[in-house]
Amino acid sequence: MASVTASSVSFAFLSAPTKQSQGLARGLVSLPVKAKSFGPLKLRNAPLRFRVSCAAKPETVEKVCEIVKKQLALPPTTEVSGESKFAALGADSLDTVEIVMGLEEEFGISVEEESAQTIATVQDAADLIEKLCEKKE
Amino acid sequence: MRMQCLDTKFFTSTSLVPMQLPSRMETHLWYVKPNEVKSEQLLNKYLEFLPKSEKEHVFSMRGDELRKGALLARALVRTTIARYQINQVSPRSLKFRKNIHGKPEVDWQQIEDWHPQQLHFNISHTESLVACGVTTHNPIGIDIEEKERKIKHSISSFAKRYFSQQEVQLLSSISDPEIQRQEFIKLWTLKEAYVKALGRGFSGSPFKTFTIRSAAASKESIHLSESSSFENSDIVVESLEDSTNHTGDWQFALLELAGSHYAAICSRKDCANIGSHPMKIGVWRTIPLVEDEYVSGTNSVIAVGGLM
């Protein structure tokens, strides 16, 4: 009963990771997990986003990825991108506030608690940073 | 009391030992250590308890250890609550929802003809320990942290950014860096537990707007006695905003759990608790469906503060 398929509920890949299962896991990460698992909470807190016109610059996203990797002590091979969720990378609440602090230091901004609470992904953080940087100017 | 399933090959939800709900003045705390759960069969059994959305969440975690931790957190909360309602619900049938601020709670409406006592719960997890606190009638918040947890920033800069002025002063008055770090972690868990008990979210109760301290320490005194600031004394919270926050309604306990973690518990004082008695806590180490061990009174549970 150790099949590893998209619909399987087996945990076989827990103990015997294969290329296929890693691909499976990664595929699941970038899937509409975002839409499914956030539901009302995200809708309530985050403004609707039109990603095409307001997405942060790639350099900002890259910088956020660096800060997150450093805070969570992730191995350098870990794939972290705009879609990566902090919680999925293993960030707990203490990590998250440290990440916010790191972003404030790096970008010279100040993040309100309300905004901090809405940050779930690297992209969220990058978008917020650019919004706050624009306000500064 | 130690319960062990004789044939661990067959895990069914009926191997959950039924429990009596805690009384209004009691708190129950259940914890599981991921490194004690090794059987893949058991993990698959836990997975069967989860609805599709929770399974997806588990699989969205990056890496085996994080997936296991996420699975154990859901298995722990489902099996724990099911123990108290053993004839009415199974771990699989429980439904959850979030309150308007995002705090998870049980959705009892999904179960017909069932009007349970007001059961409140809260979970917290670290890589090496997952815990679930349960109360009746009164909201609860818990936070667990590894005793050895180190933060990336200096304690002083972190505290200045997030903690209240009084708390910053207290921490900066500690000269030994290791003791300072420990006190910082204890304070963090207490503040987290309070915010989670309030259930208004991180922004609903910003950390800077309240101070948690030992009842023994006065507002003016910022010097620590030789021992921990919370040891052997009541723990209180003060609001730095207006006085409508009813901070006197909340009680705290701080424990050392399993020799490896600090556990902070915050719950609303029951209205029947006129004498302001300290929290009564029962603690169980568990491997759901396999083993339960009552560990209060053993070395696994050491009271630090709030339990006088």
Which CATH number do you get for residue A100?
1.10.1200.10
Cα(B154)–Cα(B158) distance, integer angstroms: 6
How much of chain A exceeds pLDDT 70, in percent?
61
CATH label of the domain that carries residue B108: 3.90.470.20
Same domain flag for A31 and A62: no
B162 in a domain, yes or no?
yes
CA B125, B229, B153, A97 torsion-angle sign: positive
Q: How far is CA B274 from CA B25, B237, B251, B277, B292, in A?
A: 11, 18, 13, 8, 33
- The count of domains in chain B is 1
Rg (CA), chain B: 20
Q: What would the pLDDT profile of A49-73 be if each residue is shown by its tens digit?
A: 544 446 789 999 999 999 999 999 9
Same domain flag for A30 and A81: no
The residue that leads in pLDDT, A24 or A46, is A46
Q: List the helix and strand counts (H, then E) for chain B.
A: 6, 14
pLDDT band at A30 (very low <50, low <70, confident <90, very high): very low
B308 in a domain, yes or no?
no
Residue A128 near residue A111, CB atoms below 8 Å: yes
pLDDT value of position B204: 84
Same domain flag for A86 and A126: yes
Instruction: Find the domain containing A117 and state its range.
Output: 58-136
pLDDT value of position A41: 42
Residue-by-residue pLDDT tens, chain B, 308 positions: 455 544 445 555 557 889 999 998 899 999 999 999 999 999 999 999 999 999 999 999 999 999 999 999 999 999 999 999 877 788 999 999 998 888 999 988 766 555 566 899 999 999 999 999 999 989 999 999 999 999 999 999 999 999 999 999 999 999 999 999 999 999 999 999 999 999 988 888 899 999 999 887 655 555 554 445 788 778 999 998 866 667 788 999 999 999 999 999 999 988 777 666 788 999 999 999 999 999 999 999 999 988 75
Name the residue with tokens 């404030």: A104
pLDDT value of position B100: 86
Task: Give, for B119, the enclosing helix (H) or strand (E).
Answer: strand B119-126
Asked if A92 is an active-site residue, the reply is yes
Residue A69 near residue B41, CB atoms below 8 Å: no
pLDDT value of position B296: 95
Cα(B267)–Cα(B28) distance, integer angstroms: 11
Same domain flag for A104 and A43: no
The half-sphere exposure of B110 on its side-chain side, counting CA atoms within 13 A, is 11
Residue B133 near residue B28, CB atoms below 8 Å: yes
**Which residues of A, range 64-123, sit inside 8 Å of B by Cβ?**
70-71, 78, 84-85, 87-90, 92-94, 97-98, 101-102, 104, 112-114, 116-117
Q: Indicate which residue of A92, A95, A124, A127 is catalytic.
A: A92
**Cβ-defined contact of B59 to A25 (cutoff 8 Å):** yes
User: What is the mean predicted confidence (pLDDT) over A62-85?
Assistant: 93
Written as six digits, the tokens of B190 are 């207490």
Residue of B nearest to A114 (CA): B203
The closest of B29, B28, B33 to B72, measured between CA atoms, is B33
Shortest CA gap A60–chain B (Å): 21
ipTM over 0.90: no
Q: Residue B136, exposed/middle/buried by CB under 10 A (0-12, 13-18, 19+)?
A: buried
pTM of this structure: 0.83
- The count of domains in chain A is 2
Residue of B nearest to A104 (CA): B161
User: What is the mean predicted confidence (pLDDT) over A94-113?
Assistant: 93
| CA A10 to chain CA centroid, nearest Å | 26
Shortest CA gap B1–chain A (Å): 31
Name the residue with tokens 């609303």: B268
Instruction: Find the domain containing B130 and state its range.
Output: 2-303
Same domain flag for A88 and A25: no
Backbone angles phi, psi at B213, to 5 degrees: -150, 170
DSSP code for B114: -
Name the residue with tokens 């296929």: A20
The closest of A99, A95, A90 to B149, measured between CA atoms, is A95
DSSP code for B20: P
Written as six digits, the tokens of B222 are 């910022």
B250 in a domain, yes or no?
yes
Written as six digits, the tokens of B203 are 């922004």
The residue that leads in pLDDT, A40 or B220, is B220
Shortest CA gap A28–chain B (Å): 6
Q: List the helix and strand counts (H, then E) for chain A.
A: 8, 0
To test the contact with chain B by mutation, choose from A94, A110, A118, A128 the residue with the greatest count of B C-beta atoms within 10 A, namely: A94
Determine contact: B127 vs chain A, CB below 8 A: yes
